[in-house]
Amino acid sequence: MISVEFALLSYSNSSDNTYSWMLEGLDKDWTISKNNIASYTNLKPGTYTLLVKAANSQGEWLTKPLYLVIIISPPFYKTWWFIALFILAVAGIAFKLEQQHINRIKARYNLRNKIASDLHDEIGSTLTSINILSNVSQQAMDKQPQQAKEMLHQISAQSKTIQQNMSDIVWSIRPDNENIENLVTRIREYAAQTLEPLNIATRIEADDGLIEKTLPIQHRKNILLICKEAINNIAKHSNATTAKILFINSKNRITLSIEDDGKWKGNSSGTGTKSMHERANALSGNMTMNASEFGTKILVSIPIP
C-alpha cells in the first residue's frame, strides 16, 4: 500500500480546502475530495505519475497541478536478471543431468567391452587350446593312450582355469563386492585353499582406514589377480613357511605389501611377474620386487580412485 499526504498552504478555513488527484497509468479520471491523502494498493511494478491540485475555501484552484513520480520495483523473483539466472540454472542442471546420463551409458558400454575383452583374453584362448587337445587326444586314444591321457589331464587343468577366471570376472563386477573388505576376504579364501595345504601360515589384513573404501571394477579385478599371482608364486617357487599380504593406507595411495620367508626359485622376469607389473601399470601404479635368500617382498603402489 502507498499513501501520499499533501496540503495546501492556505490557513484560512483550511478544513474547507478541496483536493483533486489522479495517478497516471492507473486512474482514468480525477478524484475530488476534502481528504488530503491519496492511497493505492496492489500497484503493479512500473512507473506512475501522481498529479495533485488543490482549491482553497473560496474554490480557487491552483493553475498548475503538482506531480510526483512513483516507481514500483518488482519483487526480486520477477526481475529480468533473476529470471535469466533461473533459466541458466535450470539449463545447467538439465545439462549436468544429461551429461551424467551419457556418462552412465558410456560407463556401461565400456564395462561391457571390458568384460568381453577379458572373456576373450582369459577364456577364449584357453577354450581354443582345449578344443585342439580334445581333437588330438581323440586321435591318439588308440595308438598313444599315454599321450592321450596326458592331454586329458591338460584339458582338466585348463577347464579349472576357465572356471576360476569366470569366477573372478563375475566376482569383480558384482556391486556388493566393491569395498576393500570384500576384496581382502576373497584373497584370504584363495590363499587358504592354495597355501594352507603346503603348511604356509598366512596373514592377510588391511588398515582400518581402507576397509570401507570402495574400488572400481578394474581396480578390484587387477588387485585380486596380482595377489593371486603372488600367492601362486609363493606356492610354487619359495619353499616358504610364512606369508603375509597387507593393504596399507599411505597418502591417497594403497600400498600392497606381499612378503614371504622362502627362497625365490622362479624367474623375476617371467610371464607371471610381467603380468603383475602390467596390472599395476594399468591402475596408474607401480610394482617393485626384491628377492633374496631370506625371502621375497613385493610392493605395489596404486592411487586411491
Write out pLDDT tens, residues 236-293. Answer: 877 889 999 999 998 889 999 999 998 776 666 667 888 899 999 999 999 999 888 7
Q: Mind listing the pLDDT tens digit for each residue in 83-138?
A: 999 999 999 999 999 999 999 888 877 777 777 776 666 677 677 777 777 887 88
Average pLDDT value over all residues in the chain: 86
217: its cell numbers = 571394477
Question: Who has greater pLDDT, 110 or 184?
Answer: 184
CA angle 76-80-83, nearest 5°? 75
Q: State the Cα–Cα distance between residues 183 and 246, nearest whole angstrom.
A: 12
124: its cell numbers = 577364449
Please determine, for residue 191, whether its predicted confidence score (pLDDT) is greater than 70: yes
The amino acid present at 139, given as its one-letter code, is Q
> Got the DSSP string for 171-201?
HHH-GGG-BHHHHHHHHHHHHHHHHGGGT-E
- The residue assigned the cell 596390472 is 279
In this prediction the pTM is: 0.60
CA atoms within 13 A on the CB side of 58: 5
Calculate what percentage of the chain has a pLDDT beyond 70.
94
- Do 195 and 152 contact (CB within 8 A), yes or no? no
Q: State the Cα–Cα distance between residues 214 and 178, nearest whole angstrom.
A: 5
Check residue 270 and give its pLDDT: 66
230: its cell numbers = 603372488
